Amino acid sequence: MMKDAAPKTIYLEDYTPFGYVVESVHLTFHLAPTATRVVSRIAFAPNPDATDGTFLLHGEDLTLIRARIDGEEITPDLTEDGLRCAVPDTPFIWEAEVEISPQTNTALEGLYMSNGMYCTQCEAEGFRKITYYPDRPDVMSIFTVRIEGEEKVKLSNGNPVGSGAGWAEWHDPWPKPAYLFALVAGDLVNHPDRFTTMSGKDVDLNIWVRPGDEDKCAFGMEALKKSMTWDEEVYGREYDLNIFNIVAVDDFNMGAMENKGLNVFNSSCVLASPETSTDSNFERIEAIIAHEYFHNWTGNRITCRDWFQLCLKEGLTVFRDSQFTADMRSEPVKRISDVIDLRARQFPEDQGPLSHPVRPESFQEINNFYTATIYEKGAEVIGMLKTLVGDDAYSRALDLYFDRHDGQACTIEDWLAVFEDATGRDLAQFKLWYSQSGTPRVAVSEDWTDGVYTLTFKQHTPPTPGQDVKDPKVIPIAVGLLNPNGDEVVPTRVLEMTQAEQSFAFDGLASKPVPSILRGFSAPIVVDREVSREERAFLLAHDTDAFNRWEANRNLARDCLVAMIRDGAGPDNAWLDGLERVIRDDSLDPAFRALMLSLPTQSEMAQVLFDLFTVPDPDAIWQASEDLRGHMAVAWQGFLPDLRATVAVDAPYAPDADQAGKRSLGSALLALQTRLDGGAAAQAQYGAADNMTLQLSALSQLISAGKGDAAVKAFEDQWHHDRLVMDKWFGLQVGMAKPDVAVDVAQRLVQHPAFDMGNPNRFRAVMGGFAMNHAGFHRKDGEGYAFLADWLIALDDRNPQTTARMCSVFQTWKRYDTNRQGLIRAQLERIKAKPKLSRDTDEMVSRILG
């Protein structure tokens, strides 16, 4: 979408219902790569709940061939955003025929082609690129779709109702908004299965892929069946069609899409095999399949009234998929991983120029709001709600939500009302989590007087763009107390903070306890508390809460790195002794031990320093991280190989949590060992690897040891035919490159014949991998910034969505020194000055510039 003169801002407060209801939609597609004809027949009736009778049908990049109302040819007013015309004040039939060109649609929004296959992406506002329609989520209708074309497989939403030579028809009995529409057609093959629902209905399941990918569907299918069972058992939600189709598509802007009965997946988020996918790929695929499936109830049966309510479906569905993963795998490991991810992606967003509320109040381009704040903070908010009301009340509220709102397009007010009605609780203050942006900081102080232990909390949320003043929020702070022997004397209790400053007293204690604060990361906040190294080390050794045990270690690692970077100190050996005890404790889950061993990222350290009023120097952070790893390797050289041997997996490869945890610890240990042996162990692992997890971890160590050339070449020879594996090859080389050569490596990779900027996975592999190379991207002379900006400028005309999302790598620019800030600003301004910049990228760059 090209911006016109001034970008238009859309406001939540301006919401009004559409003037018409849509009683039914019939679509016929005559497929042709550059001249697909779409014939629509839509039954409209005046909406009794509406005050504005304007008949506006959205439409973009459509060639109108003809339009009729009740059979009479009409000539509507066509504008950039759609079509307007006079209509009867009684029910009427709208018919239109438009022509579109899927083949030349490089934005991957609407109907487009990927490797010769037709597919659609309609969320958020892509349906308007298919035909004229009220493309807004509160307009729900029943769709019947006929597809005409020579492709072997032709799919749409709902149930199949007929097919013959060159045609297929589908009918979806469930009313849905246009963003859930989907069509797929191509020469695909399926991996079929069946599922019997809790009430005994049989459902056909299929994963559709390009010929050659059939052997990569089995894991996704198992994940789908597990998700279906889980949603029945945990939420009482049953599937509601005769068929459920998943399609893998190579060119896709996001991870996957929950279209009713026809989920479309980025092939990287569904195709899996041990030889080509890592353990993390498997875990992610399981979670995304679950996520899209869970949307059938949280998103599809109950949808959003408008796009400001996006977190209604996304926050809840992320929360549900996290619960699922915790149930399928390890709960503490999932929680720690989610918090690592939240801090890496959502905290920078919430603490920088892109900060916005979980329910935003305005936007220019909705595609820019599929953010970590809406998804991940949205899920955290639901987690807090559940903590506050308790598990039983949460279940009752959800039952009420499904009962009351099935078939509706809802708001956050509707969502909170079911909790208020199910519990009798007033959630007015809690609602601030939806309207106030920014990460609250909570300062903690303690007092021990006359046998009474008191914790005092002070909350403060720094100003964010457009919101200078913040009110105190409701913050559930889970706390446990340990006595000096390490025994838990007060088990986890949730303190409900509602005021700006609040104290909580504990009596009956024999001695001053050691507090374990914010157990399980019970709220998405930053805790500010001066804690001695001894106390952190004590919690690392004794905390019964796995999250806080990990957190104590993380804080020790951060403190150690800060001292090394800022004060030129050496590594903290006392901490490393404590950490050694944990990683050698074979009663602990290897996955948990691997998380303990992973150091804060360089970007995280940049934020830590910035919070300490120290301008972060990316080179110094890189050097300190290297030094620390080198020191750990030397300090632990006596036991590294033996410990690594204890987690070697003998059994045939399985992508389960148990094996994955062992490989993950093994790979962290290999990284240390490589610093001692110069790559010998990594070379051996590379040679023996029979699965991608081991192959890739070995390759990455060889690259970091500067011994990767042969393996990089061998890997390419082995995998050049596999797109998804080659994405890893691209990403790893630029991600693992030494900072001073990262730009050169990136420049070399974009010259590679297999680099294809039109494929979002490939583009992200190189550009995302490069931006993750913290010190390489932030090279002092600004070459890294210029390189990335060149490519964003190059991609913008073709694919605004992916370009705009990638701009967020610049969001933390104000952390750095004035020289780097100047260099980044210059690149942002250069992007902004690009002629015909897309609305998507323009909005992102303008917000980042502030």
Does residue 684 contact residue 675 with C-beta atoms inside 8 Å?
Answer: no
DSSP assignment string, 209-220: E-TT-GGG-HHH
| Torsion angles phi and psi, residue 841, rounded to 5 | -70, -35
Length of the chain (residues): 850
Least separation in angstroms between CB 591 and ligand 0A1 = 25
Least separation in angstroms between CB 255 and ligand 0A1 = 6
27/256 with CB nearer ligand 0A1? 256
Least separation in angstroms between CB 252 and ligand 0A1 = 8
291/593 with CB nearer Zn ion? 291
How many residues contact Zn ion, by CB under 5 A? 2
CA count, 13 A, side-chain hemisphere, 247 = 30
Structure tokens at 24: 């039914």
294/715 with CB nearer ligand 0A1? 294
Taking CB within 5 to 8 Å according to partner kind, which of ligand 0A1, Zn ion, none is near residue 334? Answer: none
Taking CB within 5 to 8 Å according to partner kind, which of ligand 0A1, Zn ion, none is near residue 285? Answer: none
Least separation in angstroms between CB 291 and Zn ion = 6
179/434 with CB nearer ligand 0A1? 179
Q: Beta strand pairing status for 36-46 and 167-176?
A: unpaired
Give the residue at shortest CB distance from ligand 0A1. Answer: 254
148/338 with CB nearer ligand 0A1? 338
Single out the residue of 321, 380, 700 nearest to residue 524, CA to CA.
380
Least separation in angstroms between CB 269 and Zn ion = 12
Q: Would you call the peptide bond into 682 cis, given omega within 30 degrees of 0 as the criterion?
A: no
Taking CB within 5 to 8 Å according to partner kind, which of Zn ion, ligand 0A1, none is near residue 779? Answer: none
Question: Which residues ranging from 42 to 101 are in contact with Zn ion (CB under 5 A)?
Answer: none
Taking CB within 5 to 8 Å according to partner kind, which of ligand 0A1, Zn ion, none is near residue 180? Answer: none
739/760 with CB nearer ligand 0A1? 760
Farthest CA pair distance, the chain: 88
461/802 with CB nearer ligand 0A1? 802
Q: Output the CA–CA distances (angstroms, integers) from residue 82 to 61, 75, 133, 216, 639, in the order listed.
A: 9, 13, 9, 42, 68
Does residue 800 contact residue 841 with C-beta atoms inside 8 Å?
Answer: yes
Least separation in angstroms between CB 114 and ligand 0A1 = 14
Angle at 324 between CA 323 and CA 327, to 5 degrees: 85
Least separation in angstroms between CB 142 and Zn ion = 23
Q: Strand, helix or coil at 114? A: strand
Taking CB within 5 to 8 Å according to partner kind, which of ligand 0A1, Zn ion, none is near residue 118? Answer: none
Structure tokens at 63: 């060639």
Binding site for ligand 0A1 (CB under 6 A): 121, 123-124, 253-258, 291-292, 314, 367, 370, 801
Instruction: Give the separation between CA 404 and CA 396, rounded to whole angstroms.
Output: 12
Least separation in angstroms between CB 696 and Zn ion = 27
Residue 762: partners with Cβ closer than 8 Å, 6 or more residues away: 723, 726, 727, 730, 754, 755, 756
Taking CB within 5 to 8 Å according to partner kind, which of Zn ion, ligand 0A1, none is near residue 263? Answer: none
Structure tokens at 368: 């820019």
CA 53 to chain centre: 38
Does residue 98 contact residue 110 with C-beta atoms inside 8 Å?
Answer: no
480/760 with CB nearer ligand 0A1? 760
695/801 with CB nearer ligand 0A1? 801
| Torsion angles phi and psi, residue 21, rounded to 5 | -100, 150
Taking CB within 5 to 8 Å according to partner kind, which of ligand 0A1, Zn ion, none is near residue 157? Answer: none
Least separation in angstroms between CB 793 and ligand 0A1 = 21
Least separation in angstroms between CB 257 and Zn ion = 8
Instruction: Give the separation between CA 93 and CA 91, rounded to whole angstroms.
Output: 7
Does residue 177 contact residue 58 with C-beta atoms inside 8 Å?
Answer: no
Taking CB within 5 to 8 Å according to partner kind, which of ligand 0A1, Zn ion, none is near residue 124? Answer: ligand 0A1
255/782 with CB nearer ligand 0A1? 255
Instruction: Give the separation between CA 126 and CA 377, rounded to whole angstroms.
Output: 26
Taking CB within 5 to 8 Å according to partner kind, which of ligand 0A1, Zn ion, none is near residue 742? Answer: none
Residue 401: partners with Cβ closer than 8 Å, 6 or more residues away: 302, 414, 415, 418
| Torsion angles phi and psi, residue 203, rounded to 5 | -125, 130
Structure tokens at 306: 């408008």
Q: Is 626 a catalytic residue?
A: no
Taking CB within 5 to 8 Å according to partner kind, which of ligand 0A1, Zn ion, none is near residue 370? Answer: ligand 0A1
Single out the residue of 552, 493, 605, 486 nearest to residue 336, CA to CA.
552
Single out the residue of 217, 208, 218, 159 nearest to residue 184, CA to CA.
208
Single out the residue of 558, 510, 520, 512 nearest to residue 536, CA to CA.
558
What track of x and - describes contact with Zn ion for positions 296 through 325 (by CB under 5 A)? ------------------x--x--------
Q: Output the CA–CA distances (angstroms, integers) from residue 252 to 18, 125, 382, 439, 758, in the order listed.
A: 31, 15, 29, 31, 10
Residue 620 identity (one-letter amino acid): A
Residue 358 identity (one-letter amino acid): V
Active-site option among 292, 314, 349, 376: 292
* Active centre residues (catalytic): 292
Interface contacts to Zn ion, rule CB under 5 A:
314, 317
